[in-house]
Structure 1
Amino acid sequence: MSAFNKLMEFARDTQALGEVAGRLGWDQETVMPEGAGAQRAEEMAAMEKVLHARRNDPRVSDWLAEIDEDALDDVARAQIREIRRARDRADKVPMDLAAELARVTSAAQGAWAEARGNDDFAAFRPVLEDVVRLRREEAAALADGGDLYDALLDDYEPGITGGEIQTLFDAMRPRLVTLRDKALGASHQPEMLVGNWAAKKQMKLSGKLAKTFGYDLTHGRIDKAVHPFSSGSGLDVRITTRTNEADPFNCFYSTIHEVGHACYEQNVDRAYLLTPIGRGASMGVHESQSRIYENQLGRSRAFTGWLFGQMEKRFGKTPASDADAFYGTVNRLQKGYIRTEADEVQYNLHVMLRFDLERRVIGGQLDVADLEAAWNERFAADFGYEVDRASNGVLQDVHWSVGLFGYFPTYALGNVYAGCLHEALRANQPDLDAALSGGNTAPATDWLAENVQKHGALRTPNQTIVAATGRAVSVEPLLAYLEAKFAEIYKL
């Protein structure tokens, strides 16, 4: 075997073991017995030791040294790029630290869930302090004297810095705030969501929506969890959703969102299965898929017209007087604390809050002890009302408990990318609304599969979006889309 073939055989086994570790995480969030948390933490730590040792195996460096990259095609070079990234990261982070992070963050999920249920940040604070301490230590090892937050951000969105994200956010914030204030102050307000919607019927329609957006249930499944997520790649990609009998949109759009993630993984070229590029290019690109499925497609006037009929058929009633009013209800701006339930206009403001706070925490300018107060102060300043309890504030997201510092900004980046992709999609599919109005998403999802999803991590994140759209990444398409859409809805 050539050095490249040996390296790829080794990499496939490493990827397969990573999928096993991911399945342990899925199990923990869905069906794991309540009392199994301590043992699961040890299992996750053991798996991380195995994975870290493989990424840092001396043979990887030897094989890389033997390979003539100039003789490789683009796919092989991309595989090498990703293997080098993983090897270099493993070289810098000690195995004991990697294992301890896996152990602590696994256990922290249970502590977070309990604290969230009790609205008790003080109970979670010591656990979060341990997570932050370990992540800072990891960041210091990765940064080589550079910015700690940038070192963590690179895990989720390679090639971008916190400063660059700050520039994007600074360009977005004023127009988002202006649009929000105009809409909330408009004389015309869409109808409110009222009623009680049976959870079982929500889940049935949720399954229909998943299939409508192309989710292959022969290689996936839908379960319920406190915090919806997608897990896996290739032939086994699972999602979760949640139900609230007072708000069926929470279930429906959480499902569509996670299906966007899942379809990305399911549609990666099967030739890349269990290889380093056989997954999404980055979390930002991943979010571009979930957000365009959920918002530009799922909340469009055309698609909500179809959904209106589906709700009438399944529930015997609808949340609005007619399809046009239903479109307004689905997209209605309203006060709220929860990021995952936020409308398109305010969602990015939630992300910006988290980005600023976590950047300060990792940089050492904000102590975990002061995080809840800082959150509450910032939320009041940004949204104009006070946080009423910790589960609606600093404890609402699972991310920090599992150590995902640097992850939050990719949600807003995903929206920016989705804006660029939507502009290109509409130019390519001028009759898209005719299909969406009949519940046919294929013209859109097929275009995304062909231009983004099938390529996996073949290209860098920026290259992925530029290749699909033919244009440089910009916040303008997203902001123009939002301003036009909500000006129409609110008759501004």
Structure 2
Amino acid sequence: MTAYDDLMAHQRETQALAQVMGRLGWDQETMMPRGAAPQRGEEMAALESVLHARRTDPRIADWLGAINEPKLDEAGRANLRHIRRSFDRASKVPAALAARIARVTSEAQGIWAEARANDDFKSFVPTLSEVLSLKREEGQALAMGGDVYDAMLDDYEPGTTGAELEAMFGALRPELSTLRAAVREAEAPPRLTGTFDENAQMKLTRQLARSFGYDMSHGRVDKAVHPFSSGSGLDVRITTRTNETDPFNCFYSTIHEVGHAAYEQGIDRNYLLTPLGQGVSMGVHESQSRIYENQIGRSRAFTGWLFGQMKDAFGDFGVSDAETFYRIVNRVSDGFIRTEADELQYNLHVLMRFDLERALVAHDLQVNDLEAAWNDRFEADFGYPVDKASNGVLQDVHWSVGLIGYFPTYSLGNVYAGCLHDALRRDVPELDAQLAQGDTTAATGWLNQNVQKHGGLYEPKEVIEKASGQPPSESPLLSYLKGKFSELYAI
């Protein structure tokens, strides 16, 4: 087994360096001075060059060829599956291109942030055009004559194609649009009003993080413009944001990111710094954040407990009872921002981005025309016009940092969460009684045992099918949304 041991030692060092690079990304979002962006771009490019060299090291092919795979256990065989895939993909991408992408996307993040602050998409067009061109070049190298978008998507959701997602999303979109139209015609719950001290929000949000099982001895909660989770294993960090008139933004951003963090913290420690020691795909990752945030965190039972916690934190905040609070939390509201969208409308935001980025990659849409295309599609889907670029095409960081193919995993994660929620309700019949006490341990424990602890042991679709007992399908999500919002809005 010497070849396997040597391969895994090499892999462990590579994974450790990747974690260092991830920590630089965390710092860039939270602590880094604004003027450091050009230097950080060089640092990221240098690290990417080292990582690319390690991922394409010719010895990997020699080690893989020398290993007697049938003698390995299930985890060993899964490690080889991931290493072969990574080696194959990395070997197709020239080192200079990988470094240039790292440098340009690091610098692009600051340019995007400035354009967003100024509501000036035109100033971002040259940078986004360069990012898209580089990512197309990478996709073409990976696709080797096949579908370029599928090659990009494979970075985030291995084994899934754009055509499969198009069919799934094609089934989702009309059903969601019909339900949304009916809800908009019905009487809406009241809105939350007033101001909520931001320090008190952060205190309660840390309590919420702990209540969902986030291990603060191996993590931390900071503030960022765009909430995110970073890291794996023994160091998993999350960020959130505050708004003095909208505490739900803080609380549910935190619960969402804790779902991601709990996945990483919950992986079997034997897999630490191996290919199995991180979430298997972004779709499965998103299934954890969305089920934490929505099916658990926005449930009638859990919001009843949260209502009491908010009274303790803020005193009388103008909501009379837990049922009214539940309706306020789940209110369907007009809005431009994907990350702030209610769970009924959220996927419509994602489906729009999926269609736009596929068109960009296929040269069916030019970057110069992206803002107009975004605005036209948004008004068609939501019924009102975009008022400014920061509420439209500039609201998300993803394209600026080269995450093309990432957006559809958000809706795929919702689909996966629908399947998991069905199984969770089946297996934990006393779930609501526990959530009403603020006790999420049965829910989070079930998710850990059935999804999180496995890390990368199984393929993404296999993880969901093993946990839920059925192949992934949009039907459970649609049934859940129809049931919940039909009852809430009496339609």
> Which bin holds the TM-score, normalised by the shorter protein?
over 0.9
3-state secondary structure, aligned to 1:155: coil
**Residue correspondence of structure 1 range 206-221 to structure 2 within 5 A:** 206-221=205-220
**Residue correspondence of structure 1 range 319-338 to structure 2 within 5 A:** 320-338=319-337
Partner of 2:172: 172
Q: Name the stretch that deviates more: 102-111 or 69-78.
A: 69-78
Letter in 1 for 2:121: F
Partner of 1:118: 118
3-state secondary structure, aligned to 2:199: helix
Shift of 1:469: 1.0
Shift of 1:170: 0.6
3-state secondary structure, aligned to 1:344: coil
Per-residue CA deviations over 1:369-418 (Å, capped at 9, x if unaligned) read 10000000000000000000000000000000000000000000000000
Per-residue CA deviations over 1:110-142 (Å, capped at 9, x if unaligned) read 001111001000111111011001000000000
Does 1:81 pair with 2:81?
A: yes
3-state secondary structure, aligned to 1:401: helix
Distance 1:148 1:434 in 2: 48
Distance 1:134 1:270 in 2: 36
Note the residue ranges of structure 1 that are not aligned, 5 or more in a row.
none
- Is the CA contact 1:308–1:318 (under 8 Å) kept in the aligned structure 2? no
Shift of 1:292: 0.1
Note the residue ranges of structure 2 that are not aligned, 5 or more in a row.
none
Shift of the 381–319 alpha-carbon distance from structure 1 to 2, 3 Å rule, reads farther
Does 1:56 pair with 2:56?
A: yes
Per-residue CA deviations over 1:334-379 (Å, capped at 9, x if unaligned) read 1000000001110000000000000000111111110000000000
Partner of 1:263: 262
Distance 2:154 2:8 in 1: 24
Does 1:287 pair with 2:286?
A: yes
3-state secondary structure, aligned to 2:472: coil
Distance 2:85 2:21 in 1: 20
Shift of 1:193: 1.5
Partner of 2:425: 426
Per-residue CA deviations over 1:290-311 (Å, capped at 9, x if unaligned) read 0000000000000000000011
Letter in 2 for 1:488: E
Distance 2:318 2:227 in 1: 23
Per-residue CA deviations over 1:1-32 (Å, capped at 9, x if unaligned) read 61001000110000000000000000000000
Partner of 1:404: 403
Distance 1:46 1:113 in 2: 23
3-state secondary structure, aligned to 2:274: coil
3-state secondary structure, aligned to 2:114: helix
Partner of 2:158: 158
Does 1:107 pair with 2:107?
A: yes
3-state secondary structure, aligned to 1:237: strand
Shift of 1:277: 1.0
Letter in 1 for 2:59: R
**Residue correspondence of structure 1 range 459-478 to structure 2 within 5 A:** 459-478=458-477
Letter in 2 for 1:66: A
- Is the CA contact 1:303–1:438 (under 8 Å) kept in the aligned structure 2? yes
Distance 1:339 1:321 in 2: 29
Partner of 1:417: 416
**Residue correspondence of structure 1 range 88-103 to structure 2 within 5 A:** 88-103=88-103
Shift of 1:321: 2.2
Partner of 1:300: 299
Does 1:357 pair with 2:356?
A: yes
Partner of 1:68: 68
TM superposition outliers: structure 1 runs of 4+ over 3 Å:
none
Distance 2:193 2:145 in 1: 54
3-state secondary structure, aligned to 1:223: strand
Shift of 1:68: 1.5
Letter in 2 for 1:297: I
3-state secondary structure, aligned to 1:239: strand
Shift of 1:184: 1.2
Per-residue CA deviations over 1:221-271 (Å, capped at 9, x if unaligned) read 000001000000000000000011111100000000000000000000000
**Residue correspondence of structure 1 range 128-143 to structure 2 within 5 A:** 128-143=128-143
Letter in 1 for 2:145: G
Shift of 1:319: 5.0
3-state secondary structure, aligned to 1:404: coil
Distance 1:86 1:127 in 2: 28
Distance 1:171 1:182 in 2: 18
Partner of 2:246: 247
Shift of 1:317: 2.2
Distance 1:451 1:320 in 2: 37
Shift of 1:322: 1.1
Per-residue CA deviations over 1:412-434 (Å, capped at 9, x if unaligned) read 00000000000000000001000
3-state secondary structure, aligned to 1:345: coil
Letter in 1 for 2:369: D
Distance 2:96 2:306 in 1: 51
3-state secondary structure, aligned to 2:461: helix
Letter in 2 for 1:279: Q
Shift of 1:320: 2.4
Distance 1:334 1:438 in 2: 28
Alpha-carbon RMSD: 0.7
Shift of 1:198: 1.2
| Equivalent residues, number | 491
